Structure formats: C-alpha cells, structure tokens
C-alpha cells in the first residue's frame, strides 16, 4: 500500500511541530516547504515568546493548557539537551470598570477549564506590586501557573531537528502554485517542480493568505508588523510577571532589563509584506508615555535595541483558522493566530496531525476554529488580543 504524501507549506513552529506530530502518528511521508531555512525573519524567532491561559474563547484556553504541559516536558519529547528556558512568571492583566464584568465572566470560564488565575482588587494589586500605579483600575488577573515566557528560537530549532529525525524532509523554496482536481489538491509547485500530495497543510503564517489566494481562496489572514522594544530602568525585574495595561502597552523582564511594545493605531497598521523596520516613532509617541504612567520608574528608562516581526493577523475575528477547507477536503489550515501562534503551536500541530491520521480531533476539539465560520460569515471574536 502506497504511503500517503503530506506537504506542509511553512516551516515555522506550527509547520515543524505538525511535521513531527504527523511522523509520530505514522500518518505518512512529510515534506515541509520553507523559503528561509535561516529563519531570520520568521515570526516564531521574532516573537515575544510567551504563553497565557487568559483568553476569551474556551478553545484558546484549552490550547494554552496543552501548550504549557508541552513546554514543561519538552526535554522528554525532544531530548535532554533541549532547554527552552520556560519562565513560569505569569501574566498580570489589568482591567478598568468598563471591562470588569466581561473579564470576570471570562475568569469563571478559564477557572472552570482548569486555569489557575487569581483576581486582585486595586488594594491587593498595589500591595503585591508596589512599583505599579493602580490609577483608573478596577481589578486585575494574575496567572499563577501555566503562564510565562520562553526561548522560541530554541523551541523552533528543537522541533525542526525532531521532525527531521522522525523522517520529515525540508524543501527550501516558495510555494508558487497548486494543482487541484475536483475537491482535492493534488500537488504543490515549488522550485519549478511539482510535489504530489494526498494532504496539503497551509501553515505559512503571515503569508498564508497569499498562499490560499493561489487556490482562489479568500483567507482573511494578513501580515501585520509588531515592534518589540528593549530597555532598562531603575526597577528590579526579578519576580515581575508579564504586564498588560488597559492602554494596550505590555512589558516583561528580559535579561538585565525589559522588553515591551504596543499595537499601532488601526489607522496606521497596513499589510507588512517585506517590512521589518522597527517603528521607533511608536516608542516615543505611544508606548513610553503610556507604560510610564502605569510604572512610574519607567520615566527614567534607557532604550536599547528594537526589532520587528510579523503577526499572522486574522482580520475576521482574531482567531486561528484550523482544519479542512469546506470544498477542498484535503487542504488543511493551521494559521491566523493573531499573535498567539507560538503558544498554541503544540496543540494545533497535534490536532492537525490527528485530523489527517484519524479523520477526527482526539486531544482537543478544534472544530470551533474551522474555516466554515469564515465561509458562513459567523465570526467567533477573541477578545484577549495584545
């Protein structure tokens, strides 16, 4: 019996973990197409590399809990020499009166699913974090476990090596087209050649919308630039959680200093094809004034370097798109995570592999993230996007 051929477009963390998961389940021969094996501009490598259980959609909480378990046992999966430096420092997400009711509703859901999250009132917040201004706050939530940050570059390299050891092959190139017959994709065009496939996985991250367009599919995922700033300040970082302010500004400890950022205004957030230039004006005009108002010690910060990476932004509802296309049944999506792709990669990869190997999800039901909601114009908005 012929071994089925699986082609994955995109060799970032989701593509690598999917390849590894497929081989682990014995699903078939796997080829991963990656245009830049140095990963210089890969979203995985340029991300802030964090994980949280505080989401508005239950499927995202479940994916985070699965991801946290994976990160804690990654050495057992990939080898004792793998160290991703997982710091379980937690997320401290601030809230005001306008959002408090919805935040508490989400908190009840998160706790019901097994997330360990503490609610703090302004007095408790000021007592626990004296470096923080509680002005304008009504409450805050703090993840006590399964939240923190890690080394995404080390995780990506470990996943790629593990996939190769398991028998996956990596092809350097760009997918330039597809062949399709009836309701199936039959081949992927790359480097002037045709790779036959029984299954095709679109895990192309910020480029996944453009990849889908080669098949005439309108996948509402676009590359959006996000800048990360590195800085130092007269403030001890030891024991500090990842902080998300009501303004949208965020920061966390990194080395002997901090990193942080903020989304640009919606009116100044175009598609970012090829643009990796850090937005330094964003630091002066938005990030610094807002974060210094919340953390007064940052009025004396010294800014260091900055870098920019691309989010695979799902413009439809800020949620991932996972699973088969309703008309091309062997085309599987694994993209659109709008900034939470690295943390959800382990669970998504496992789910995609199960869908191909068994015809169903077994570890996590990822059907809420199906493309069907896009086709039906039925968004499932994720409220906790930073």
Residues 6+ apart with CB under 8 A from 76: none
Question: Is 299 strand, coil or helix?
Answer: helix
Instruction: Tell me the backbone φ, ψ of residue 111, rounded to 5 degrees.
Output: -65, -40
Cβ distance 335 to 321 under 8 Å?
yes
Question: Is 39 strand, coil or helix?
Answer: coil
Joined together, the tokens standing for residue 100 give 């408090």
Distances (CA, A) of 377 to 220, 285, 321, 322: 11, 36, 13, 16
Whole-number Å distance between alpha carbons of 256 and 237: 8
Burial of 358 by CB count in 10 Å (0-12 exposed, 13-18 middle, 19+ buried)? exposed
359: left (phi over 0), alpha (psi -120 to 50) or beta: left
Q: What is the pLDDT of residue 386?
A: 67
Convert 135-174 to b/e letters by CB count within 10 Å (16 or more is b): eebbbbbbbeebbbbbebbbbbbbbbebbbeeebebbebe
Cross-strand pairs, 145 = none
- What are the tens digits of pLDDT across the range 283-339? 999 999 999 999 999 999 999 999 999 999 999 999 999 999 999 999 999 999 988
Residue numbers in the chain where pLDDT is lower than 70: 1, 384, 386
pTM comes to 0.96
- Parallel/antiparallel/unpaired status of strands 117-120 and 148-149: unpaired
Task: Order the strands of the 184-190 sheet from edge to edge.
Answer: 175-181, 184-190, 193-196
Whole-number Å distance between alpha carbons of 47 and 307: 10
Joined together, the tokens standing for residue 241 give 């959680």
Q: What is the pLDDT of residue 175?
A: 97
- What are the tens digits of pLDDT across the range 236-249? 999 999 999 999 99
Q: What is the pLDDT of residue 1?
A: 61
**In 48-153, at which residue ranges do the beta strands (DSSP E only) sit?**
50-51, 91-95, 117-120, 139-143, 148-149
Domains and CATH numbers, the chain: 5-70+152-220+316-375 (3.50.50.60), 88-145+223-310 (3.30.9.10)
Whole-number Å distance between alpha carbons of 303 and 260: 11
The 8-class DSSP code of residue 287 comes to I
Query: Position of tokens 């420092």?
Result: 89
């Amino acid at each position: 019996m012929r071994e089925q051929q699986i082609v994955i477009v995109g060799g970032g963390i989701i593509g690598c973990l999917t390849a590894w998961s497929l081989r682990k389940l014995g699903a078939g021969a796997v080829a991963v197409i990656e245009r830049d094996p140095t990963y210089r501009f890969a979203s995985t490598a340029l991300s802030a590399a964090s994980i949280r259980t505080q989401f508005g959609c239950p499927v995202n909480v479940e994916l985070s809990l699965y991801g946290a378990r994976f990160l804690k046992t990654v050495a057992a999966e990939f080898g004792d020499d793998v160290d991703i430096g997982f710091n379980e420092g937690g997320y401290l997400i601030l809230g005001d009166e306008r959002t408090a009711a919805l935040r508490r509703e989400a908190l009840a859901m998160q706790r019901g699913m097994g997330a360990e999250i503490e609610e703090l009132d302004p007095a408790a917040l000021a007592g626990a974090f004296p470096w923080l201004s509680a002005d304008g706050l009504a409450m805050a939530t703090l993840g006590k476990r399964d939240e923190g940050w890690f080394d995404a570059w080390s995780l990506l390299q470990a996943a790629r090596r593990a996939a190769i050891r398991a028998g996956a092959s990596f092809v350097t190139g760009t997918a330039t087209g597809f062949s399709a017959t009836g309701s199936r994709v039959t081949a992927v065009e790359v480097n002037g050649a045709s790779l036959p496939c029984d299954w095709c996985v679109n895990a192309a991250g910020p480029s996944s919308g453009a990849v889908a367009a080669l098949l005439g599919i309108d996948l509402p995922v676009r590359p959006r630039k996000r800048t990360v700033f590195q800085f130092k300040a007269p403030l001890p970082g030891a024991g500090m959680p990842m902080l998300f302010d009501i303004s949208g500004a965020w920061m966390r400890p990194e080395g002997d200093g901090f990193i942080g950022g903020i989304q640009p205004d919606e009116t100044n957030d175009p598609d970012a094809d090829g643009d990796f230039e850090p937005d330094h004006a964003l630091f002066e005009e938005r990030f610094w004034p807002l974060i210094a108002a919340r953390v007064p010690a940052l009025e004396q910060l010294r800014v260091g370097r900055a870098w920019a990476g691309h989010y695979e932004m799902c413009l439809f509802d800020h949620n991932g798109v996972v699973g088969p296309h309703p008309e091309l049944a062997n085309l599987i999506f694994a993209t659109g995570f709008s900034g939470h792709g690295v943390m959800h990669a382990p669970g998504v990869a496992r789910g995609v592999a199960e869908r191909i190997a068994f015809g169903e999800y077994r570890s996590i039901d990822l059907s809420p993230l199906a493309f069907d909601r896009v086709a039906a114009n039925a968004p499932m908005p994720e409220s906790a996007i930073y």
